[in-house]
Amino acid sequence: MTSDITAFRHRADLAGIPVYRQGKPAPTDRRAFKLSSNENPYGPLPSVVEAIERGALGTINRYPDMHGWKVVDRIAAQYGVDASNVILGAGSSEIITELVNALAGPGTEVIYPWRSFEAYPIIVRGSGATPVQVPLTADLRHDIPAMIAAVTDRTRLIIVNNPNNPTGTTVSREEAERLLEAVPKDVVVLFDEAYFQFNTDPDTEVAMDLFRRYPNVVVAHTFSKAYGLAGLRIGYGIGPAAVVDEMSKVALPFAVSDVAQTAAVASLDAQSELDDRVRDLIAERARVLGALRGQGWHVPDSGANFFWLQLGDLTDRVAERLTEAGVIARVFSGDGIRISIGSHEANDLVIETCAAAIEALPEAAKQWAPADGDAR
């Protein structure tokens, strides 16, 4: 038995692709909270559980509806678009993967901000295309002029992550429009809006408006975060019909289970209850960020269900303290820590642990400060 890939004919261009690291599970031998994957702390609504039991469990011996019409039609009606503009995926990760595979490949480039969603480099390298990572600004936001300047003849796709994972920072309406005005109309711009329901920034353009006004916009949404269905794997893309058709060519057939489709429809039916939960998480985010800023931390404003501590060389030392206290966060060594907003109890522990951490390591607060010098 060999574990060396060079013993087989293989794709040498995959060497060095980072392996996607899932947020660590919480240890089970003591009190700890998993705040490392931006999951919703709430379980599914009772009505969603009931719909799954009633409708979906009896159909497991059958393949699901490949196109997921019951969800597609609902989403098309909700946004006032044609069903030919909507495509389902096993999470929006699959939507992003299909889009990259449909448009890009060897010899072409995909532009995205960095640091951003960890899956982007993996997906882009997996397609054979060349990643063009455009560093965030000092304020940890998309650098739109630099993204525009990065466009070449080889550019096949530009990804905007709004709000940005892991920094929580948002892209303004003006910035999104400036980007779309500047890039060639035959270059697709993807707006990955996995967290848009948590975005309370009044100046933020919802990508669906841009989809209606520009011919080259694709929007990716997911049921994993605000809807709390991360374990069922369902998300969707909205884009020009020609692009959606191309994406279906590279889609894994039957990737979205009937259970997931049923749960998605039931979740859309329960919108107002889900909105209440989102509002509660937004209030919790304000409570946590307010408390941390009161302790002296600089925390960038977040439009998502997580926040970012830019810690540079101190990252591992702060991370150790969090882990010891039972706060399981997502650690990017040498860069910073992303902490999800969880249950009230989990958030209390975050506040308490961060207070102790900054007392022990006061220099942690100085690793980053907003450029405009305001209270953030």
Ligand X SMILES: *Cc1c(COP(=O)(O)O)cnc(C)c1O
Interface residue with ligand X, options 143, 192, 258, 301 (CB under 6 A): 192
Look at residues 139, 141, 175, 167 and name the one whose alpha carbon lies nearest to residue 371: 139
310-339: which residues touch ligand X (CB under 6 A)? none
Angle between helices 315-325 and 344-360 (to 10 degrees): 130
117 vs 308, beta carbon nearer ligand X? 117
Determine the distance from the C-alpha atom of residue 275 to the mean position of all C-alpha atoms in its chain, rounded to a whole number. Answer: 19
Binding mask 134-173 for ligand X (x = CB under 6 A): ---------------------------x---x--------
What stretches of 68-216 adopt beta strand conformation (E)?
86-89, 109-114, 130-135, 155-161, 188-192
Interface residue with ligand X, options 92, 130, 167, 267 (CB under 6 A): 92
Interface residue with ligand X, options 26, 148, 151, 230 (CB under 6 A): 230
Interface residue with ligand X, options 108, 169, 224, 353 (CB under 6 A): 224
Q: In angstroms, what is the minimal distance from the CB of 69 to ligand X? A: 20
| 235 part of the interface to ligand X, by CB under 6 A | yes
Size of the site for ligand X (CB under 6 A): 14
| 68 part of the interface to ligand X, by CB under 6 A | no
Residues contacting residue 239 through CB under 8 Å, at least 6 positions apart: 85, 87, 99, 188, 211, 217, 218, 219, 247
What three-state secondary structure class fits 23?
A: coil
| 117 part of the interface to ligand X, by CB under 6 A | yes
Cα distances (Å, whole numbers) of residue 9 to 5, 17, 124, 234 = 8, 18, 21, 34
Residue with tokens 């107002």: 272
Cα distances (Å, whole numbers) of residue 283 to 273, 302, 322 = 16, 12, 22
Q: In angstroms, what is the minimal distance from the CB of 165 to ligand X? A: 4
| 261 part of the interface to ligand X, by CB under 6 A | no
Q: In angstroms, what is the minimal distance from the CB of 95 to ligand X? A: 8
Interface residue with ligand X, options 91, 113, 336, 342 (CB under 6 A): 91
205 close to 172: Cβ distance less than 8 angstroms: yes
Distance, in Å, from the CA atom of 343 to the CA atom of 349, rounded to the nearest integer, reads 10
Distance, in Å, from the CA atom of 340 to the CA atom of 13, rounded to the nearest integer, reads 34
Residue with tokens 């397609």: 127
Stretch in the footprint of ligand X (CB under 6 A) among 168-176, 218-226, 338-346, 365-373: 218-226
Q: In angstroms, what is the minimal distance from the CB of 358 to ligand X? A: 27
92 vs 310, beta carbon nearer ligand X? 92
79 vs 355, beta carbon nearer ligand X? 79
330 vs 357, beta carbon nearer ligand X? 330
282 vs 325, beta carbon nearer ligand X? 282
161 close to 112: Cβ distance less than 8 angstroms: yes
Which residue has the closest beta carbon to ligand X? 91
What stretches of 64-144 adopt beta strand conformation (E)?
86-89, 109-114, 130-135
133 vs 295, beta carbon nearer ligand X? 133
| 250 part of the interface to ligand X, by CB under 6 A | no
Binding mask 28-57 for ligand X (x = CB under 6 A): ----------x-------------------
40 vs 224, beta carbon nearer ligand X? 224
**Four-CA torsion 224, 256, 94, 252, nearest 10 degrees:** 170
| 72-93-197 Cα angle (round to 5) | 65
Contacts with ligand X by CB under 6 A lie at: 38, 91-93, 117, 161, 165, 192, 194, 222, 224-225, 230, 235
